[in-house]
Chains A and B, each alone.
Chain A
Amino acid sequence: MFKKLAIAATLMTATLSGQAMAQENINPWKHCGIGAIIFDDNGTAAAISNIIWDLGTTAVSSKVSSADSCEGKLVTAAVFIQDNFKKVMEETSQGEGEHLVAMMDILGVEQAERANVIAAVRADMAIVMAANAETSPQTYYNAVVANI
């Protein structure tokens, strides 16, 4: 599945595929420090703190042109999941939703593959929920990465 994603990314731009390859082994929480900056036990506070962090980034030019491995699509998807975890989980339980589409857009998943990816992530998270195990953004992100 990841090969298909890499091929799609190559077709999009060389820069993007380069980022995807560079990020393959990146744990956004551990390596990019976003957890320390953004995360908080309280979901709302997490959202607000991220917005403050984002507000500080007024350099729009550097945003769109940066090739830093911590600003690529996997990390962007990780941040998106972290920020919108409540909605992402709700929509995953429902099987569809605009946050899931946005997440697929960020990851560049092909249209034809999206339903399968979401179904696989939903199945994985259903097991986690049924086992009463911890559901965290990172757990969810890992399920997504494992299924693309």
Chain B
Amino acid sequence: MLRRSLLRIALLSCITFNVLAQTALNELASHPVWQQLLHTGQTPVSGESKPFYLATEGSENPLAELQATLSAFKQNPQSQCRYPARRLFLKRYYPARYFPAVQCVDYQAYLDAFVTDSLSLIYASGYLGNPASMFGHVFLKFNSDGVHDLLDNTFSFGARVPDSDNKLAYIIKGISGGYEGHFTNQKYHHHDLTYNESELRNLWEYRLGLERSEVEFILAHLWELENTSMTYYFFRQNCAYQLAKLLELVIDTPLTEPGKYQVMPVDLIMRLNKAENSSPLYKNVRFHGSRQQALYKHYSQLNSEQQNTLMTILTAPVAQTTELLAALDDEDAKPVIDTLYDYVAFQEVRQDDVAAELQEKKRLAMSKRFAMPPGKVEWQNITPVAPHYAQFTSLLQTGLAVNNDVSAVMLRYRANYYDLLTYNPGRIPFSELSTFDLRLAYSDNRELSVQQFNLLKVINLNASQTGLPGDDALAWKLALGYRQQSKQCRHCGSAFVEGFVGKAWSPGAGHVFYGAVSGTATSSNRMGGNLAAGAEVGGVITVTPKLAISFSAGHQWYVNALSEHRQYVQVESRWLINQQWDLRATYEYLGQAEAGVHISYYY
């Protein structure tokens, strides 16, 4: 009798223990950090040489992967070396579980080389010369905290694109998941060279407020992701998304915008700045300016004699270079020569083939600099406004427009990113980059119509900031989408592609004017033809930091119906309220005038 009772108690204890153990496993498997280690709910991780998941259905079943991991750690202790982040997670959240001790020599060497007390997220500003780079980029830097950071280690996520793929193929495959994405490690000087020097992009470094153990946990997961890939999607599972998810391993707040499908690099910066628990998640921000930025910074600090000397060197024959520099004393010549270095480096990017004459001028200036006593110029530090102060990237707008006594409620959604009037200090000056910009009108007679849908609109006015030869470039615009061909009708839409090429001039900070030859192709010849060419003038005037005005006016003739032509005028003013709100007033003429007022919400 007693024996039977003891057996029952033992059996019950065993069942109870198993139930408790299973409950603990279920809780662990549903832990967000565990699920992020497995990338559950995202594109699965593919191992290049061996599977990333230990369980057959590991990508979709966190419990099965947890059980497989526990089993592997016990039966094959060396497997702990392949999954150090899983091991750290289990040690913390399942301390009762014993695993055999192992020495992970390679992993320890990796940690010794990479681990640090400080981790930075670096944002690279957009680059309109390449569709892959228009929206910016983010990567991680593990800081050595030395006198320079050129040898710091970085990790970056990006698509591996075959050299044979052109830009159109990149766009299509990038959007549709045609590429595999990888985390890659490089020394920071490669990024300095690529972004600051070769693509003239500014970098902003956000030093995160993380503990050393948290930095190590991120490194542990990056180790697990070595030689793996994940499907890359340009607008979502991109660099910003993967870094956000990686940081969410140690930051207990969502770093992607809830309710927003696309993830933009600058959105991640915004989330770091205004996370849900309100205080910024970074300690400080550092600016790493491009070579173009260095040119502007240095040129602005030359006195008028030095600026004149530099201009004369650039425009006079080579033979005068040495003589012109000799006319300055050493302390005056050094800033001129250093600015000349910036100018030539900038021109090497702007022009495919820099004139041999300019290279020779640099060589002569450098010979002079070598002959002087050593010593750097003490430039004043100028830091532009950081990108996290910009307005958010997605737009919802509503307003009222009046057109020939007919009024309509206007509704607008723009997926991203900014127009000529958006407050965005991190962007290229006088540029616009808009994608998926839909405008609807709901008129008095209860009709809903599509006024305009810009799939893509890019403007880069490329105005000179110094007046030095070659500082400017062609002003250009490319836009494509669907729109009403006249303000006189509500249902006269057609697909269009349009653009212009010209020159812009900036008389001062915040102001620009341009003139250009323009062209438009439409799918309908309702207005007289399919192909129109003409001219356009326009500009942007920044009256105060809060009030800015853009305008454009153009006249085009239809190439296939020369007697027909189109004229258009657009004037828009923006009153900045804050990062999330602004007010806009518009006037447009396209066959008929239309005026409107709108309120914009950015998120």
Most B CB within 10 A of own CB, among A55, A59, A92, A130: A55
Q: Does B543 touch A at the CB level, under 8 Å?
A: no
Give B358 Cβ to nearest chain A Cβ, in Å. Answer: 14
**Are the CB atoms of A44 and B348 closer together than 8 Å?**
yes
Q: Does A25 touch B at the CB level, under 8 Å?
A: no
Bound-state CA distance A90–B109 (Å) is 35
How many chain-B residues does the 8 Å CB contact rule pick out? Answer: 46
**Are the CB atoms of B375 and A84 closer together than 8 Å?**
no
B194 partner, pick from A47, A106, A119, beta carbons under 8 A = A47
**Are the CB atoms of A105 and B186 closer together than 8 Å?**
no
**Are the CB atoms of A54 and B186 closer together than 8 Å?**
yes
Bound-state CA distance A99–B189 (Å) is 9
Q: Does B205 touch A at the CB level, under 8 Å?
A: no
Q: List 10 A-B contacts (CB under 8 A).
A: A47-B197, A48-B194, A48-B198, A58-B184, A58-B185, A61-B109, A65-B109, A101-B146, A101-B148, A105-B151
Q: Does A63 touch B at the CB level, under 8 Å?
A: yes
Give B242 Cβ to nearest chain A Cβ, in Å. Answer: 14
Q: Which A residue sits closest to B188, measured CB to CB?
A: A102
Q: A58-B184, A93-B366, A93-B370 are in contact. Are A102 and B189 (CB under 8 A)?
A: yes
Most A CB within 10 A of own CB, among B150, B160, B227, B345: B150
**Are the CB atoms of B150 and A99 closer together than 8 Å?**
yes
Give B115 Cβ to nearest chain A Cβ, in Å. Answer: 12
Q: Does A129 touch B at the CB level, under 8 Å?
A: yes
**Are the CB atoms of B113 and A64 closer together than 8 Å?**
yes
Q: Which residues of A contact B (CB under 8 A)?
A: 43-44, 47-48, 50-51, 54-55, 57-61, 63-65, 80, 83-84, 86-87, 89-90, 92-99, 101-102, 105-106, 119, 122, 125-126, 129-130, 132
**Are the CB atoms of B110 and A61 closer together than 8 Å?**
yes
Q: Which A residue sits closest to B48, measured CB to CB?
A: A58
Q: Which B residue sits closest to A80, measured CB to CB?
A: B189
Q: Which residues of A contact B356 (CB under 8 A)?
A: none
**Are the CB atoms of A60 and B198 closer together than 8 Å?**
no
Q: Which residues of A contact B148 (CB under 8 A)?
A: 98-99, 101-102
Interface of B is mostly: helix
Q: Does B74 touch A at the CB level, under 8 Å?
A: no
Bound-state CA distance A58–B450 (Å) is 48
Q: A47-B194, A83-B189, A83-B193 are in contact. Are A59 and B374 (CB under 8 A)?
A: no
Q: Which B residue sits closest to A43, measured CB to CB?
A: B348
Give A56 Cβ to nearest chain B Cβ, in Å. Answer: 9
**Are the CB atoms of A119 and B366 closer together than 8 Å?**
no
A59 partner, pick from B150, B189, B226, beta carbons under 8 A = B226
A95 partner, pick from B146, B227, B375, beta carbons under 8 A = B375
Q: Which residues of A contact B106 (CB under 8 A)?
A: 61, 65
Q: A48-B194, A65-B109 are in contact. Are A86 and B366 (CB under 8 A)?
A: no
Q: What would 17 more interface pairs be, CB under 8 Å, given A83-B190, A84-B189?
A: A48-B194, A50-B190, A51-B190, A54-B190, A57-B185, A59-B226, A84-B193, A90-B338, A90-B366, A93-B366, A94-B338, A99-B150, A101-B146, A101-B148, A102-B150, A126-B371, A129-B370
